[in-house]
Chains A and B, each alone.
Chain A
Amino acid sequence: NAGVMQNPRHLVRRRGQEARLRCSPMKGHSHVYWYRQLPEEGLKFMVYLQKENIIDESGMPKERFSAEFPKEGPSILRIQQVVRGDSAAYFCASSPRISGGPVRETQYFGPGTRLLVL
């Protein structure tokens, strides 16, 4: 069973461009989480999605950031008009749906996408 896949692993963008980060969850996992890791910091939650639904986006910046998890295909984190402060590692995690709810589910992390904004 392949792990969580993220691509690209490294992404370079110039200020003002768009960045699209992709996440394919583990087989059978229907929940996806996105986290951001700024240099020298821990991971910060951004958004929690289930298939075709955004469940919790309390960690998403109000502007320029959006996320989706369509019925078919990977989850996408989209950053419009990138700025230098968006440079970070973006990690996706997936978990299965089990009884007991999200608090009991283990999240499995992908290798991350390292975004550099020039």
Chain B
Amino acid sequence: GNSVTQMEGPVTLSEEAFLTINCTYTATGYPSLFWYVQYPGEGLQLLLKATKADDKGSNKGFEATYRKETTSFHLEKGSVQVSDSAVYFCALKGGNAGGTSYGKLTFGQGTILTVHP
């Protein structure tokens, strides 16, 4: 079945530092890949997505490139801000989920990011 593995957290950075959160996945076929962000006490917000190999998703300074050869979708940001402190989830949909299960998202365990001034 499908699975997503994220780098262990928590991650603590100083403001303006470079961010990388690793994400690798297991799925056959061609899943769609997503990064969601969850702020304290809130639901998940879609941050970016990519639906085919070599696509780059980007939003609010965050980027991630769909790498089929390494089955990865690492999240990066060149200069983080305090307001980026949140939990980040990598997720996939489709691939070999099969039949009517194509709709469900499979999530990684989440990475807590804390950015200090």
Contacts and interface: CB of A to CB of B under 8 A. Distances in A.
Interface of A: 4, 6, 31, 33, 35, 41-45, 48, 55-56, 58-59, 91, 93, 95, 101-112
Interface of B: 31-32, 36, 42-46, 49, 51, 89, 93-94, 100-110
A4 B46 CA distance: 13
A41 B94 CA distance: 22
Nearest to A54: B100
B26 to A, nearest CB: 15
B42 A48 contact: no
A43 B104 CA distance: 11
B43 A45 contact: no
B103 A104 contact: no
A86 to B, nearest CB: 19
A41 to B, nearest CB: 6
Given A56-B103, A107-B46, 4 more contacts: A33-B104, A48-B103, A103-B32, A103-B94
A11 B80 CA distance: 35
B93 to A, nearest CB: 6
Contacts of A93: 44, 105
26 contacts: A4-B43, A31-B103, A33-B103, A33-B104, A35-B107, A41-B109, A42-B108, A42-B109, A42-B110, A43-B44, A43-B107, A44-B107, A45-B104, A55-B103, A56-B100, A56-B104, A58-B104, A93-B105, A103-B31, A103-B32, A106-B49, A107-B46, A109-B44, A109-B45, A111-B42, A112-B43
